[in-house]
């Protein structure tokens, strides 16, 4: 039986959250991260790290409700074409200090960008920056996980 893109197994089987309080400001950064991956998941199949960055302005450092809703809408649009297609895995989302970042690991940067463009076609332009590079060891994700006290 052939496996269609919509029937791809979910790579992440559980998520967790962590909160970091900034020493200088006392403001918080909230992290949502992939805690457990499906059995047999191979990180090496996703060697390219793609970071989507959404900058915003707020007194509290957290997005205002309307901006947060737009961020959630964009993430919902990306999920079926980026993550469920098997081209990438969302590993970490951080929100705080006037910044939301999504860290994806992709099979290739080009595949990810093609899926991103397809997912956002016909939508109002989202105010994101895209940073990509090789991270076959998932070092950004590992650094974060090592710093989390569970």
* Residues recorded for the chain: 150
Reported as a pLDDT band with limits 50, 70 and 90, residue 6 is very low
97 vs 150, residue with greater confidence: 97
- pLDDT at position 30: 97
Half-sphere exposure of 44 (CA within 13 A, CB side): 1
pLDDT digits (tens, 9 = 90+) for 15-72: 999 999 988 888 999 999 999 999 999 999 999 999 999 999 999 999 999 999 999 9
CATH 3.30.70 is the classification of domain 12-147: yes
- pLDDT at position 25: 82
Q: Is the pLDDT of residue 8 over 90?
A: no
Domain parsing of the chain, residue ranges: 12-147
- Looking up tokens 């909230």 gives 30
- pLDDT at position 55: 98
Mean pLDDT computed over 94-101 = 97
- pLDDT at position 7: 41
Provide the 8-state DSSP code for 81.
I
pLDDT digits (tens, 9 = 90+) for 105-147: 999 999 999 999 999 999 999 999 999 999 999 999 999 999 9
Answering whether pTM is above 0.85, one says yes
- pLDDT at position 9: 58
From residue 40, give the alpha-carbon distance in Å to each of 15, 30, 73, 109.
18, 29, 31, 23
């Amino acid at each position: 039986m052939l496996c269609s893109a919509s029937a791809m197994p979910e790579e992440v089987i559980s998520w967790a959250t962590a909160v970091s309080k900034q020493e200088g400001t006392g403001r918080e950064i909230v992290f949502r991260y992939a805690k457990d991956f499906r059995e047999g998941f191979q990180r090496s199949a996703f060697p390219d790290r793609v970071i989507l960055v959404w900058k915003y302005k707020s007194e509290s450092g957290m997005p205002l409700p309307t901006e947060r809703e737009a961020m959630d809408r964009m993430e919902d649009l990306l999920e079926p074409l980026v993550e469920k297609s098997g081209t990438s895995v969302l590993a970490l989302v951080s929100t705080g200090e006037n910044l939301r970042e999504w860290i994806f690991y992709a099979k290739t940067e080009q595949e990810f960008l093609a899926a991103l463009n397809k997912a956002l076609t016909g939508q109002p332009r989202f105010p994101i920056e895209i940073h990509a590079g090789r991270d076959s060891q998932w070092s950004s994700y590992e650094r974060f996980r090592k710093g989390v006290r569970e």
